[in-house]
Structure 1
Amino acid sequence: MSTTTPSAGANIEILRKARGWSRDYLARQAHISTSLLRQVEAGTRTATPTTVAAAAKALRVPTARVYGDPFTDPSEHTALLDDLRAAVRRHTLPREDMPPLDELAANLNQAAQLRADTKYLELLRVLPRLLGQATSVAIQAGGDATAWGQLADLYGCAYAVAHRLAQPDLADMIVSRQQWAANQTWNPDAEVAAAWNEAGTYQSAGYYGDGLTIIDRAIVKYESALVEDSAQSTVSLGSLHLRGVVLASRAKDRNAWAAHNEKAKELAARLPNDLLRHNLTFGPGNQTLYELAAHVELGHPDTASVIAEPLIVAPPRGLRPSRVGRLCIDAARARLDLNEHAGAEQALTRAFEVAPQMAEVHPMSREVLRVLFKVHQRSRPGLLQMAKRSGLTPEL
């Protein structure tokens, strides 16, 4: 990677100065301290999701504008994302013929695997054609719940790519297509997956209260439609509560966080290990990871670090690289908050090993890396290597 990308803090400073605002004025508008804003702009403190959301609302820009484009060489990503946009746009007009059903099933499983392994570029290369094929099969199948459920799951894979590659408008469009597919037949579990992603768009935009409303509504609807308890229903309900855990912790709503967390714990105890269904992972391991992340958001990095310590060495069974990578990023942030720089670097290095494509573009991974690099710069070769892979430079 030969060029650089500005940090969230640098973008906040650029936007602030473009409006002619002083740092004190923006801090008041965003309801954050001037000291915090100064450190974020200077790159000596991480721009957390809540800080970015607060600054973005005050500046009246999307959070994606603050985070900026994570790609230093966007040419390949841009072309592939344009292909995906075109496929999502013509959702009722697929150009692809129906493949043999066993071939389609194998390709859908491969897409789900690529998503779980955080191989976003590889997934982007197959998604447009596969969406067309799955749509052709679903339309031909009429009201077949399996065919439409497969299509809804594939849109879930597409959402994961758009979300992680900082394409919020595309992610919004994909969620609407996923809801369309899920609603073609009675498929409550597919509807849960769509609601989970819809709440995710509010989470990304910093509208945590609205996201919680989506989750609460989805929980009520699913529970009213639930015929019997099963592993699938546990995964669906548990995943909704996990999304609620993150949203509530970022909203600093401790009562909602406690309620969602306790319910998630209760449901996770029903499963011997984590299961992946409809692109949703739920079980004892993932519940612990979400609780860890919530402690970071709620200002308890010491608790989060204690939880993370054994998990980084031996991740819970059933967790794919997408979840283990996120565990390591959250652990790095917690350790950085505790000024444990060596431990933060260690966790971040593990994230780059387990889920490299995620670690290179994840906003919090990049923020932790920027602060560590600011402190240590050339004294740590590992930081320099990760910085280069993420498109960051020594002067940042």
Structure 2
Amino acid sequence: MGSTAPSAGENIAVLRKARGLSQAKLAREAGITLSYLSKIETGLRPATPPVVAAVARVLHVTTARVYGNPFVGPAEQMDLLNELRNTVRRHTLPRESPLSPAETTGAVQTAADLRASTQYLELLRMLPALLGQTTASALDSRGEATAWGYVADVYSCAYTVAHRLAQPDLADMIVSRQMWAAQQTWNPSAEAAAAWNEAGTYQSAGQYEDGLAIIERAISRYEAVPASGPFRTIHLGSLHLRGVVLASRAKDANATRDHLRHAWTLAETLPDGRDLVQHHLTFGRGNTALYELASHVELDAPDRAVQMSGSLIASPPAGLKPNRLGRLYIDVARARLAVRDYAGAEEALNAAHAVAPQMAQIHPMGREVLRVLIVMHQRSKPGLLAMAKRAGLAS
């Protein structure tokens, strides 16, 4: 195919051979069939997150090593990531000057908008300075909760960038800094948002049970807070949605249903049917439906996901930003691929690339579905090849 960036399946084959393992032994120890592993390595089936997690455990590597680096050759983002890493490391020693309250509000909103629109490179360009500026302002504020809340929110943006750009070590460090900032706010909502990202680091590593433990602890603590209103609903509901992903990837159907039931109950209390955003967490009926659809894919019921997708694609939920819509289309592509609707999978991937191009090009499952379609069509479709070139999967 002229691939310029190794896929997860190709990386699995290389790592397996380096360990001296046969396909049969790796498949047996990872709990999958030999036929399935063979198809993953040759590009006929996508390497799903639970499979990557199982294989990584057997090979004694991280899931990030299996997925590989989606970027080919020297790139501006790698220099910027190193700058961000240095800023995060010296989190109590900002070199930047404080911003005024009005400047802080505007800059943090700009970062939030870039995150929601999946403009990760543009966001990365502003994050090191913004982290330093908001931290300097918070340190000068003598414990003012709002100032520290802005710091926590900027760290949340930084986590998204590190996660999406395949930097798990940086994501771990950022989450610890976000927790530190959230604890300065004395705001349970800020701590819940940080816990949502903390569980995300376990999700990325394929440690789903540990991630569920983080979520369940955060839910218990947050439920004990004597508060009410939409902001509380957003944070509690979002924790349950993270629980849906973790439980479904752990193949725990009962826990998945339980978190979904709680999420839907909370979503129905929000007015106007629109999803709301607070501390970069999106919650409402629309996002809950998206998580339910994704859970069907993870629990090996792609037909149910396809059935759900019709109304969601025909009339996307109000209030959802490109980052959520892009993920919807990628999950629909996964489901359609699983039911052998290859034209539909391509159509959904095209929609993801249109609404959230930077995310679609680097999202592991977006790349896996695209790779399978390319292999099956043997590069015969120009549209697929164009997408593959943008994603660095073909030269």
Residue identity (%): 62
Write the distance in 1 (CA, Å) between the matches of 2:54 and 2:227: 42
The code of the aligned residue for 1:186 comes to W
Residue number in structure 1 paired with 2:386: 385
Alignment of structure 1 residues 13-24 onto 2, 5 Å: 13-24=13-24
Query: What secondary structure is seen at the aligned counterpart in 2 of 1:276?
Result: strand
Unaligned 5+ segments in structure 1 are none
Write the distance in 2 (CA, Å) between the matches of 1:74 and 1:153: 30
Q: How many residues align?
A: 392
Write the deviation string for residues 54-107 of structure 1: whole angstroms up to 9, x where unpaired: 000000100000000000234211101011001101100000011222112101
**Does residue 343 of structure 2 align to residue 351 of structure 1?**
no
Residue number in structure 1 paired with 2:117: 117
Q: CA deviation at 1:3?
A: 7.1
The code of the aligned residue for 1:267 comes to L
**Does residue 280 of structure 2 align to residue 279 of structure 1?**
yes
Does structure 2 retain, via aligned residues, the 8 Å contact 1:377–1:384?
A: no
Residue number in structure 2 paired with 1:99: 99
Does structure 2 retain, via aligned residues, the 8 Å contact 1:3–1:72?
A: no
Write the distance in 2 (CA, Å) between the matches of 1:358 and 1:136: 31
Does structure 2 retain, via aligned residues, the 8 Å contact 1:312–1:347?
A: no
Query: What secondary structure is seen at the aligned counterpart in 2 of 1:184?
Result: helix
Write the distance in 2 (CA, Å) between the matches of 1:60 and 1:295: 29
- Tell me: CA distance 1:293–1:74, structure 2 relative to 1, closer, same or farther (3 Å): farther
Alignment RMSD, CA only? 1.1
Q: Stretches of 4+ moved more than 6 A in 1?
A: none
TM-score by length of 1: 0.98
Query: What secondary structure is seen at the aligned counterpart in 2 of 1:378?
Result: coil
Residue number in structure 1 paired with 2:267: 268
Alignment of structure 1 residues 1-396 onto 2, 5 Å: 4-225=4-225, 227-271=226-270, 272-393=273-394
Write the deviation string for residues 323-382 of structure 1: whole angstroms up to 9, x where unpaired: 000000000000000000000000000000000000000000000000001111332111
Write the distance in 1 (CA, Å) between the matches of 2:99 and 2:166: 32
Write the distance in 2 (CA, Å) between the matches of 1:35 and 1:379: 25
Write the distance in 2 (CA, Å) between the matches of 1:184 and 1:98: 17
Does structure 2 retain, via aligned residues, the 8 Å contact 1:4–1:72?
A: yes
Write the distance in 1 (CA, Å) between the matches of 2:164 and 2:315: 25
TM-score by length of 2: 0.98
The code of the aligned residue for 2:309 comes to A
Q: CA deviation at 1:393?
A: 2.1
Does structure 2 retain, via aligned residues, the 8 Å contact 1:377–1:383?
A: no
Write the distance in 2 (CA, Å) between the matches of 1:55 and 1:221: 34
Query: What secondary structure is seen at the aligned counterpart in 2 of 1:21?
Result: coil
Query: What secondary structure is seen at the aligned counterpart in 2 of 1:379?
Result: coil
The code of the aligned residue for 2:281 comes to L
Does structure 2 retain, via aligned residues, the 8 Å contact 1:164–1:362?
A: yes
Write the distance in 2 (CA, Å) between the matches of 1:347 and 1:145: 43
Write the distance in 2 (CA, Å) between the matches of 1:323 and 1:74: 29
